[in-house]
A and B are shown apart, each in its own frame.
Chain A
Amino acid sequence: MKLSKESILGLIALGTFLLLALIAPGFLSSNNITSMMFQLPEFGLIALAMMVVIVTGGIDLSITYIAALSGVGAALMLTNGYGMLPAIIVAILFALACGAFNGFVISKIGVSPILVTLGTMVLFEGIILAITKGNSISGFSDGYSLIGNGYYLGLVPLSIVIFVLFAIITAILLSKTSWGRSVYMYGSNETATLFSGVKNSRVLMKVYLYASLLAAISAIIMTSRYNSVKVDLGSSYLLQSVAAAVLGGTNIHGGYGKVIGTVYAVMIFQFIRNGLNLLGFHSSLVDVVIGAILILVLAMNFFSDKFKKAAETRKAEKAA
């Protein structure tokens, strides 16, 4: 009975997979498995970015527009005849600039993250509209399209390899470095963290920078996969990524959240969306199912936390 939130979620993910493998025709076909592996990374990276921010008790509503803006950066470079590497660097720089702006206003000026990123969401959208006039920029080189459409070792989609890599890096950064520990500490209690000698503003700055880096990677995969970029690139991922992070066990008030939980949550979303599509469900029904699962798991988490707390107080009373 000593299963962590994440392991339970992992079992749920496995359960959904097996269930859909049984009832959805073609779910297990190699075509479908690869197509799911192509679909998952872009959303997974955004969800990871969102998770890191939520662990600090914040939220980044501008994340998909950071991704879109960085995609625009890459697209401008590519369509103006620069190679892949400069384009990727520019994409990352664009995103980091956005992240630095968010981080600066949040950490140095101290405005609450939801307000700042709500503002920058509109700001970045405006910048993209000013650059693109609302049109899509498209037509990249074949080499670039391999990032999102190519195979690593001829077996696994390259994008999923990138995703796994960044999931591992994020996990290591969060659990093995002093920055990671400060992130969790800040999320639990920022005053205590400050008084224990941590430079809160630096920690926060790095959080928003790292989130925007992940957004940039996601943007590179998306632009390469769709061979185009436009203002609403990935905009449907915004609230989904919050949902995935929270479903993955991240505490919306901050202080708790694990990479593996978010990864499981992203997988559950992916399986259900794909499986229900294969079953021919109406898309709005897919949203209903995902919403229901989200509420269910959150309610379960809430009650299990409550029971744990009740058990702890009982134990404490006994000891006293």
Chain B
Amino acid sequence: MKKLYLLLIAALLLVGILAGCVAENSGSSDSEGEAEAGGAEGESAGGEEGLDIAVVPKLVGIPYFNASESGANEAGEDLEGVNVNYTGPTQADASAQVKVIEDLISKNVDVIAVAPNDPASVEPVLKKAKESGIHVMDWDTPADKELVDLSVKQVDDEEFGRHMAQKLVEAMGTEEGEIAILTGGLSAANLNLWIEAAQKEFDENYPGIEIVSEKIPTDEKQQVAYQKTLDLLKSYPDLKGVLAVSTPAPLGAAQAVQEEGLQDEVSVVGSALPTDSAPFLEDGSLDTAVLWDPGKLGYLTVALGQMLAEGEMPEDGQEIEGVGEITVKEDGKTVIMGPPADFTKENAADFDF
């Protein structure tokens, strides 16, 4: 038996070493071949009718990304010669998302717009997409700047974070007291930027506000946010406000506040969709939901994807039909859709997402 083990280990090492040297000198020749093949196929795909624009969300099946899906599909109908392919993983797992993108490369689409779960992990696959002649852009959450041809952002992060902070202070009706911050996930880049901006706003303009603990992750789940908020209400009986970032989090927080009957004592402000938050806005358990229109974001992504594939670049102040005036940052490829929108008890019923 010992001999067998030894033999196995020896074989393993040998193959390992062989693999090590062979892989390195074959990598370049193969990527050339691939690039050629990709170019050729790209042409043939171009010969077919219409542009294939793939929009990849962080995950499918949550209200936010469902809303952007309908926006993207609407753009596909409005714009001539555009086929929209909206597909993403069912879990917010970076590796599952990479597989979706790889399959899209096999499908030979013309544009891939991705909202990365983890910007670093989509880097290799986006490189691969570029090598096979696909236009690469990001939306919702930025990917590596060097790799994308265009970056579509919903709002200015700084402005959005500060805006949420102001809304929370407004809802609390006092500039002093304890608050807590809930977030979707600790590594979501955009959520972190908003929280940083909000913290800056508190530090600079509302020194009486005390944040009771580190930002609390809720796994992008309403249920988890609900649980964590219940815990918070128990551990900090003087809590005045909850800032909940990521779309399910404010709902869970509001649910907890509603159940405990603390609508008047604890203010909740966060980023949520108006239809979801309507029942909580109604009785004041959620004070203000701040967001943008994800449908418009999906629409804008597809519209810009078409421009990109046709060789145009958006300009600052350009009017996009169905979306409005956009802002383009100095780098020429970061597009900002517009200012944040507030949803309150009064206006939440007017929106259908």
Interface residues of A (CB under 8 A from B): 25-26, 29-32, 35, 38-39, 42, 129, 132-136, 138-139, 143, 145-147, 149-155, 158, 161-162, 165, 169, 172, 176-178, 222, 225-228, 230-237, 273-274, 277-278, 280, 282-284, 286-287
The smallest C-beta distance from B103 to any residue of chain A, in angstroms, reads: 4
Whole-angstrom CA separation of A161 from B38 in the bound complex: 25
Contact check: which of A228, A236, A284 meets B93 at CB < 8 Å? A236
Given contacts A39-B99, A135-B187, contact A29 B106 (CB under 8 A): yes
CB distance from A185 to the nearest CB of B (A): 16
Tell me if B6 counts as interface (CB < 8 A to partner A): no
Closest CB pairs A-B (n = 6): A134-B186, A154-B26, A138-B120, A228-B120, A226-B121, A150-B23
Shortest distance in angstroms between B174's beta carbon and chain A's nearest beta carbon? 31
Name the contact of B121 in the complex, choosing from A133, A138, A158, A283 (C-beta under 8 A).
A138
Contact yes or no, A234 B93, CB < 8 A: yes
Instruction: Given A158-B19, A232-B94, verify A278-B123 contact (CB < 8 Å).
Output: no
Residues in chain B near residue A138, CB distance under 8 A: 120-121, 123
A83 to B87 alpha-carbon distance, docked (Å): 38
| Bound CA span A25–B4, Å | 46
Known: A31-B106, A280-B85, A284-B60. A165 touches B15 (CB 8 A): yes
Inter-chain contact B15/A136, CB cutoff 8 Å: no
Chain B positions within 8 Å of A287 at CB level: 90
Q: How far is the CA of A228 from the CA of B105 in the complex (A)?
A: 21
For the complex, count residues of B whose C-beta is within 8 A of A: 52
Known: A152-B19, A165-B15. 6 other contacts (CB 8 A): A35-B103, A136-B118, A146-B23, A152-B23, A153-B22, A280-B87
Whether a CB of chain A sits under 8 angstroms from the CB of B318 is no
List residues of chain A with CB within 8 A of the CB of B27: 146, 149-151, 154
State the total of A-B contacts with C-beta under 8 angstroms.
158
Among the interface residues B8, B22, B120, B186, which one has the most CB atoms of the partner chain A within 10 A? B120
Contact present for A283 and B90 (CB under 8 Å): yes
Pick the contact of B106: A162, A165, A278, A280 (CB < 8 A). Answer: A278
B307 proximal to A (CB < 8 A): no
Give the nearest-CB partner of A33 in chain B: B106
For residue B327, CB closer than 8 A to chain A, the reply is no
**Distance, CA A278 to CA B108, complexed state (A):** 10
Which residues of the partner chain B approach A147 to less than 8 Å between Cβ atoms? 23
Nearest B residue (CB) for A280: B85
Chain B 68-97 near chain A by CB (<8 Å), digits 1 or 0: 000000000000000001011111111110
A236/B85 in contact, CB under 8 A: no
**Stretch of B29-37, B154-162, B231-239, B275-283 on the interface side:** B29-37
Q: Which of B103-158 contact A (CB under 8 A)?
A: 103-108, 118-124, 132
| Residues 1-55 of B at the A interface (beta carbon under 8 Å) | 1, 4, 8, 12, 15, 19, 22-24, 26-27, 29-30, 34, 37-38, 41
The closest CB in chain B to the CB of A133 belongs to B186
B23 touches A26 (CB 8 A): no
Given contacts A226-B120, A232-B94, A236-B93, is CB(A283)–CB(B102) below 8 Å? Answer: no
B61 at the interface (CB under 8 A from A): yes
Cβ–Cβ contact A227 & B124, under 8 A: yes
**What A residues does B29 contact at CB under 8 A?**
154
**In the complex, which residues of chain B have a beta carbon less than 8 angstroms from the beta carbon of A150?**
23-24, 26-27
- Determine if B123 and A235 form an interchain contact, defined as CB atoms under 8 angstroms apart: no
- The answer to whether B19 and A161 touch across the interface, beta carbons within 8 angstroms, is yes
A273, B23: Cβ atoms closer than 8 Å: no
Residue of A nearest to B100 (CB): A277
Q: How far is the CB of A75 from chain B (nearest CB, A)?
A: 10
B63 interface residue per 8 A CB criterion: no
Which residue of A30, A146, A177, A280 is within 8 Å of B4 (Cβ)?
Answer: A177
